[in-house]
Chains A and B, each alone.
Chain A
Amino acid sequence: MKNPIQLSPKDMINAYLLFFVVHGAQVGVGIQGFQRVIYQDARQDAWISVLLAGIASHIVTFCMIKTLEIYGSNDLYGIQQDIFGKWIGNLLNALYILYCFIAFFSILRNYIEVIQVWLFPSIGTWFLSATLLIIVIYAFTGGLRVIVGVSFFSIVLSLWIFPMLSFPLKYSVAESLLPILENDVRSILKGAHSMTFTIIGFEILNIIYPFVKDKKNVRKPVHLGLLFTTFIYLSVMMVSITYYSEGKLLKTIWATLTLFSFISFPFIERFEFVAVCFWMLIIIPNMCLYLWAAYRGAIRLVNIRGTTFVWLFSFFVFICTIIVQTRIQINAINTVFGHIAFYVIFVYPILLWILAILKKNFTSKKVHKNEQT
């Protein structure tokens, strides 16, 4: 087992904070409008697709933790270097960094689009991109402690949005969910597949694992985080299916935000204006964590300082956000990224686990043989 990560306890975090990290990394721009994509395939059984995707995330996480436990204190980059050797391992590491880059970019670009559509149609993409990047850079340069702190506050401070779902509940019709399981398994599975873009984020575990102080207690907070995410997605999906009519949901791009739009209090109306802006707090930990994951990989490949890396990274993201302009392009990126992410997140970790087990047995046999001779 080579390249283990040695850390002082000062840089490490407690295991229970992984709840916030995992949940914070998962919930982001996807939740604003994932209903339409899944509804296209699974119709009123879309909630089953969400549930299936949630279960799948638990299974994959189980494999991830198993793989990480084999290596003790190492992250995905080190494991890949160990299993595939220096060259292929580093190539895969580079690809994973690229994956983080695309994820980061897609979150940022989607959020910018939401701001432009819902709040300021004429505001420049470059301005939104630059301001958000500056905030992210500021959080990143504070180190992992600050990034985890932002994840924590992002969740705690946005919990109040969740009860807002009870407003549309007044107008929802439970019969919309019936008949259950009308659609065939294939379309439900296809719906679950479409959940990828929304549910990913928990792969941060692969990178953050060596930074956890008490590695024995990792499972509970991580699975609780996943459970919480699944619960939120499920409730949002249920409310959306029962609230919207069939045709309406298929035409609503940001169904969650539209749900908010008629919430009114005596002192505030059109709640979605507040919600859209408040979403910034929800996506910042998302971006910070992907940025940090990319950074952890980059220092394995090249000798680069954190500040240099973050400015380079942000510069490329900035250029890309300016290039990609139309709704069609963004949608295409989301779809393609969803497909890539499906293989990176849901297929590859299981493969890696098997390879890790094989490699472990192989080396231990070899050691055993050496000891005998």
Chain B
Amino acid sequence: MKFKLPFNKKQPLLEKETPKEKESLVRVALTTDHFIQSIKSATNNPADLIIKSIPPNITLIYIDNLVDDQTLNNDIIANLLNNPQETPEAIEMTISIPEIVKSNLLQETVESLVNGSVVIHIDGYPQVLIGNIATRESRALSAPENESQVIGTQVGFNESLTTNISLIRRYIVSPNLCNEKLKIGTRTNTTISLLYMNGIANDQMVNTLRQRITDLYIDELLDSAVLAEMIDDNSLSVFPQMLLTERPDRFCDAILDGKMGVIVDGSSMAIICPQAFTEFFRSQEDQNLRWQIATFLRLLRLAAFFLSVYLTPFYVAAVTFHYEVIPQAFLVPLSESRALVPFPPIFEALLLEFIIELLREAGARLPTKIGQTIGIVGGIVIGTAAVQAGITSNILLIIIALSALASFTSPSYMMGNVIRLIRFPIIILAGFWGFYGIMLAFCFILIHLLRQTSLGAPYMSPFYPPRMKDMRDSLIRMPIPLTAKRTSLTRPKDKNKFEPEPVKPEKS
């Protein structure tokens, strides 16, 4: 028996569908009394269900606060009162709202009712009119707080699916932008959108992603982060294989690269896949800066990654086992600073890392104003006091602070968390087996990364398999004329973004 995650298990479809089908085939009742009764029993008679009669034979049913009051009053009720009609066709002509459909199935009626539609029933007709006038209440668009950048657009996604899609459509004005609507969650009925560019995105990958989403059998889906974890290639890995972003410009850039995006209604983060490991260390700002500066920043972030993961373990290993590798000039201040510390280096390092993590977590949970105070005052007070009390050495404090700082340079918060987490086992290995332990961890992480895939694409691309063309826009960013090719990670149908032009047009 192979170990399988519970949510990946496909539910036996046949047994489930038979009762559902029967239910969905129930027709709408002919008389208003029966219809109201059936709606009430289907929705468990909620307190906010409003039933309104309009002469001669019309009944409006809707759920309060889900529908837009203004539209309801001005466009539906007012029209119906002014020109009384008696047939569904005539009413459909009278009402001036864009989304109106006819239905004769109870199940469909109830579903749209809870989705924010007004249901219009005419006594004596076995069908209803369903008008979608759901409120578009959502948070106003604001700057993306988790992925802020200096140069670039200052708008982030919000929690409304329609707003998010309209944002994307404003960036990509093209009929080739495909938007597939899917529903997930047997109880929450969450709407999610699968977006990709027709003619660029690889069909096979789109099918795989769609298959993974539709195969899910879960009852609730509240955020895209949950969905991302469930449709990952390897949900057990600590490394995320899909990117979560709240920047529409980054989302559109990825879509135009041939990637696929998923937006979940009610979540301000969009999923982008397939995603390679190095792409987590890219920021959208890199595209807006000159290529030399962008390259420098990307290399800086990579250095920060290595520093953050390996600096503290290196210190612990060197101080515990390999005094020989520390240069003599440095050995004196080091031993002076460690002279008062009663703990072994591993304990000292773990303690400080623990304090830093506590500060970070406390800062993240508290309201912004208090959080800042805690961060600054707590950091300085605890740091200085710990050194003076002789619990830790000054040098280790610098190293820990440096690696904590470095871990926050990761543009993806998800990846930053991973960096902070994998440091702990490496520190422990370094404390017990020195450089050998660090190297074990290094090899293990390398092999682990090599084993991962993102939507079937190699996670370590463009390094392995080596793709020279893709390296132009990976760790470094070459000038835009040289990066005319789309990344082959996505296996795009159209390989070229544009016709490559000479770098210096005046010379050719």
Which of these, B326, B328, B434, B440, contacts A131 with CB under 8 Å? B440
CB of A269, distance to nearest CB on chain B (Å): 5
Within 8 A of B (CB), among A276-331: 276-278, 280-281, 284
B447 and A150 contacting across the interface, CB-CB below 8 Å: yes
B436 and A277 contacting across the interface, CB-CB below 8 Å: yes
Q: CA A17 – CA B458 in complex, angstroms?
A: 15
The reply to whether the CB of A228 lies closer than 8 angstroms to some CB of chain B is: no
B465 and A280 contacting across the interface, CB-CB below 8 Å: no
Taking CB atoms, residues of chain A closer than 8 Å to B327 are 264-269
The reply to whether the CB of B325 lies closer than 8 angstroms to some CB of chain A is: yes
Q: CA A123 – CA B433 in complex, angstroms?
A: 9
Which of these, A150, A264, A265, A280, contacts B439 with CB under 8 Å? A280
Q: CA A156 – CA B471 in complex, angstroms?
A: 15
A268 and B325 contacting across the interface, CB-CB below 8 Å: yes
Q: B300-333, CB under 8 A of A: which get 1 and which 0?
A: 0000000000000000000001101111101000
- Please count how many residues in chain A sit with their CB below 8 Å of the partner chain's CB atoms: 35
Which among A46-54, A83-91, A134-142, A181-189 touches the partner chain?
A: A134-142
Q: CA A41 – CA B446 in complex, angstroms?
A: 40
User: Total A-B residue pairs with C-beta atoms closer than 8 Å?
Assistant: 87
Taking CB atoms, residues of chain B closer than 8 Å to A264 are 327
Given A152-B464, A273-B325: A135 and B443 interface contact (C-beta under 8 Å): yes
Q: Which residue of A lies closest to B444 (CB)?
A: A135
Taking CB atoms, residues of chain B closer than 8 Å to A131 are 440
B465 and A14 contacting across the interface, CB-CB below 8 Å: yes
Given A149-B460, A268-B325, A274-B325: A120 and B434 interface contact (C-beta under 8 Å): yes
B447 and A142 contacting across the interface, CB-CB below 8 Å: yes
- Please count how many residues in chain B sit with their CB below 8 Å of the partner chain's CB atoms: 29
Given A14-B465, A149-B450: A270 and B440 interface contact (C-beta under 8 Å): no
Taking CB atoms, residues of chain B closer than 8 Å to A278 are 439
The reply to whether the CB of B170 lies closer than 8 angstroms to some CB of chain A is: no
The reply to whether the CB of B438 lies closer than 8 angstroms to some CB of chain A is: yes
Q: CA A274 – CA B310 in complex, angstroms?
A: 13
B434 and A150 contacting across the interface, CB-CB below 8 Å: no
A280 and B447 contacting across the interface, CB-CB below 8 Å: no
Which of these, B322, B435, B436, B443, contacts A281 with CB under 8 Å? B443
Q: B109-134, CB under 8 A of A: which get 1 and which 0?
A: 00000000000000000000000000
Which of these, B321, B434, B440, B447, contacts A146 with CB under 8 Å? B447
Q: CA A277 – CA B430 in complex, angstroms?
A: 12
Q: Which residue of A lies closest to B448 (CB)?
A: A138
Within 8 A of B (CB), among A145-185: 145-146, 149-150, 152-153, 156
The reply to whether the CB of B493 lies closer than 8 angstroms to some CB of chain A is: no
CB of A67, distance to nearest CB on chain B (Å): 28
The reply to whether the CB of A7 lies closer than 8 angstroms to some CB of chain B is: no
Q: Which residue of B lies closest to A141 (CB)?
A: B451
B325 and A270 contacting across the interface, CB-CB below 8 Å: yes
B451 and A281 contacting across the interface, CB-CB below 8 Å: no
Q: CA A119 – CA B434 in complex, angstroms?
A: 9
The reply to whether the CB of A115 lies closer than 8 angstroms to some CB of chain B is: yes
The reply to whether the CB of B6 lies closer than 8 angstroms to some CB of chain A is: no
Please give me the 7 A-B residue pairs with the lowest Cβ-Cβ distance, nearest first.
Answer: A277-B435, A149-B450, A270-B324, A142-B451, A277-B439, A149-B464, A139-B447
Give me the interface of B with A, judged by CB distance under 8 Å.
321-322, 324-328, 330, 433-436, 438-440, 442-444, 446-448, 450-451, 458, 460, 463-466
5 residue pairs bridging A and B, Cβ less than 8 Å apart: A120-B321, A150-B447, A152-B464, A152-B466, A153-B450
List 17 other contacts, CB 8 Å, given A152-B463, A277-B438, A281-B442. Answer: A119-B321, A119-B434, A135-B440, A138-B447, A142-B451, A149-B450, A153-B446, A267-B327, A267-B330, A269-B325, A269-B328, A271-B325, A273-B325, A274-B325, A280-B440, A280-B443, A284-B443
